[in-house]
């Protein structure tokens, strides 16, 4: 296991991101949406760096088997809030092919939120299959399979406090 991004580096970036969100959305209803399961750690830490009132929601998708995206995205869990009155900020763990984010963004946009912003912890731009772009990327990485800080390899390693590369 090789550490790619340390917990200290992640914390510093989350502080900045929390400040940015807290300033930008101080005058509206903020709904932070985590995409399960991968973003659960990111969402929890980001939420604790936000200093304005906010609600938390979750969506679930499934698209990934082993280390290869199947290209098809299934919604397995949906929001309870009607998002029309909310500034929605989506917290995604990683954008790889972009298929998951595209599906989520299309669904949420069709519900006409006051605003929609997509923040991703990690971006692997080399692997993109769609033209989707996050509004804010915390870390851009090269085409390597990473685990930890919510991200898994066959459901393992989500609990690591840093982001790492598995060395076979």
* Nearest Cα to Cα of residue 132 among 144, 120, 142: 120
> Rounded distance, CA 115 to CA 71, Å?
27
> Rounded distance, CA 49 to CA 140, Å?
21
Among 38, 86, 118, 160, binds ligand IMP (CB under 6 A): 38
Phi-psi region of 117 (alpha: psi -120 to 50; beta: other; left: phi over 0): beta
Q: How far is the CB of 84 from ligand IMP (least distance, A)?
A: 26
Among 25, 57, 93, 134, binds ligand IMP (CB under 6 A): 93
Q: How far is the CB of 35 from Mg ion (least distance, A)?
A: 5
96 given a catalytic annotation = yes
Among 18, 38, 57, 148, binds Mg ion (CB under 5 A): 38
Residue numbers 95-154 binding ligand IMP by CB under 6 A? 95-101, 145-147, 151-152
Residue numbers 89-108 binding Mg ion by CB under 5 A? 93
């Amino acid at each position: 296991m090789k550490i790619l991004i340390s917990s200290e580096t992640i914390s510093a970036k989350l502080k900045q991101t929390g400040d940015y969100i807290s300033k930008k959305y101080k005058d509206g209803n903020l709904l932070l949406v985590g995409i399960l399961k991968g973003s659960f750690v990111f969402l929890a830490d980001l939420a604790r760096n936000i200093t304005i009132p906010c609600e938390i929601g979750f969506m679930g998708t499934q698209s990934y088997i082993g280390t290869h995206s199947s290209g098809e995205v299934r919604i397995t869990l949906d929001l309870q809030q009607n998002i029309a009155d909310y500034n929605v900020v989506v917290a995604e763990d990683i954008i790889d092919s972009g298929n998951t984010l595209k599906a989520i963004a299309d669904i949420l946009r069709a519900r006409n939120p006051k605003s929609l912003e997509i923040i991703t912890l990690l971006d692997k731009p080399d692997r993109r299959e769609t033209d989707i772009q996050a509004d804010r990327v915390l870390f851009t990485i090269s085409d390597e399979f990473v685990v930890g800080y919510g991200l898994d390899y066959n459901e393992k390693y989500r609990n690591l406090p840093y982001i790492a590369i598995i060395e076979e």
